[in-house]
Amino acid sequence: MTKKELFPSIEPFADGMLPLDYLHTMYWEQSGRPDGLPVLFLHGGPGAGSSPAHRRFFDPTYYRIIIYDQRGAGRSMPLGEIRENTTPLLIEDIETLREHLGIDKWLVFGGSWGSTLALAYGEAHPERCLGFILRGIFLCRQSEINWFLYGLRNFFPEAWHEFVDSLSPIERADILAIYYRRLLNPDPAIHMPAARSWGRYEGSCSTLLPSAETVEYFTSDTVALGLARMEAHYFKNNIFLPKDSLLENVYKLHDLPAVIVQGRYDAVCPILSAYDLYEAWPQAEFKIIADAGHSAWEPGILAALIEATEAFKIKFMEA
C-alpha cells in the first residue's frame, strides 16, 4: 500500500548555528539516519522558516534529513533582516552548509519559494544534486508577482480586500511599495500589523478549503515577520536573478531525476508556472493533484510528496 501519512515525529540528532558573515547566522539541524541518503529541505516564503513537521516527509530509517532556516527566517538570526539577503547569497549559504556537514551530494526538496531556490541552487551546482522533489512551483516572474498582489482577488475577494483595507485607493495602485515601506519601518507598531496582514492574506489563499490552522501559522509573529519582509524584499528586487533565468537554465538539470507536484487549484502559485517548468524540463515527472490548492499539507499533495520521497528511496537503494 502506498504510504499517504507523515512519518512519525522525530528529534534532531544534531543542530547548530552556523555563522555566514558579519551579520547573518544560520540555524541548521539533522535528523533521521546519520549515515543515510542526504536530503535537503528548502522552506518556502521566502522567509517562512522551517518547522519540526517538515522532518516527517522522509523515512528517518533511510534518510539523513537536513533542514535549515534561510537568512532572515525562522531561527536564523537576525529575523527579518533584508541586508545581505539575496538569492545568490542563499545559494552560497547552501554550499556553506553542505561543506560544513561534509556532504558530497544530496537530494533537494522544496515547495513554493523552496522550489524557486531549489532550481536556482541546482542550476548553479548541478554536480551537487542527486535529484529534486518540487511542489507548488514559483518562478518569480513579474506576472506571478502581479498575480499574488492583484490576481488573487478573483478567487479570494474577501481576503484581498482585508489585505488592502488599510491602503488608500491611490496606494492600492502599488501595493508592494506601500507594504514594503511599512514592513521596513523600525517601529513594531507599524511593521507587525503589516506583517500579520500579509501573512493572513497568504495563509487564507493557500488551501483549497478554509483552514484556520494555516492562517494561524502564517500570522504567528516569527513566521509573519520573516515571510512578509522577505517576500516583499525579493519581489521588489525580482529575486536578484536575471529575467527568466530559472527556465532558461533548467537544461542544466535535464540529466537529474525530478518530480514536480502541483495542486490543480493552487491560487498562490497557479499551475501555469508548473506547466511551463515541465515543458522546459520534460524529463521530470509531473503530478497534478486534482483536488488541492497550494499548501503542502493538502491531503493529495502530502501523499504525492511522501510517495516521491519513497520512490527516490527505492531508486537509490536499487542503484
**Which domains can be identified in the chain, with CATH numbers?**
14-141+239-318 (3.40.50.1820), 143-238 (no CATH)
**Which residue among 24, 266, 273, 295 is the active-site one?**
266
pLDDT of residue 296: 97
Residues in the chain: 319
**Cell 478554509, residue located:** 210
Number of H helices, E strands in the chain: 11, 8
Query: Which residues are CB-contacts of 252 (< 8 A; sequence separation ≥ 6)?
Result: 122, 123, 126
User: Which member of 50, 112, 115, 295 is catalytic?
Assistant: 112
Where are the alpha helices (H) located in 102-156, listed in sequence order?
Answer: 113-124, 142-149
Q: Is 69 a catalytic residue?
A: no
Does the annotation mark 187 as catalytic? no
Nearest alpha carbon to residue 200 among 188, 212, 218, 183: 218
Query: Pick from 278, 234, 196, 205: which is nearest to 47 by CA?
Result: 234
pLDDT in tens, the chain (319 residues): 356 799 999 999 999 999 999 999 999 999 999 999 999 999 999 999 999 999 999 999 999 999 999 999 999 999 999 999 999 999 999 999 999 999 999 999 999 999 999 999 999 999 999 999 999 999 999 999 999 999 999 999 999 999 999 999 999 999 999 999 999 999 999 999 999 999 999 999 999 999 999 999 999 999 999 999 999 999 999 999 999 999 999 999 999 999 999 999 999 999 999 999 999 999 999 999 999 999 999 999 999 999 999 999 999 988 7
* Residue 191 is a catalytic residue: no
pTM: 0.97
288 φ/ψ angles, rounded to the nearest 5 degrees: -100, 125
State how beta strands 285-289 and 258-263 pair.
parallel
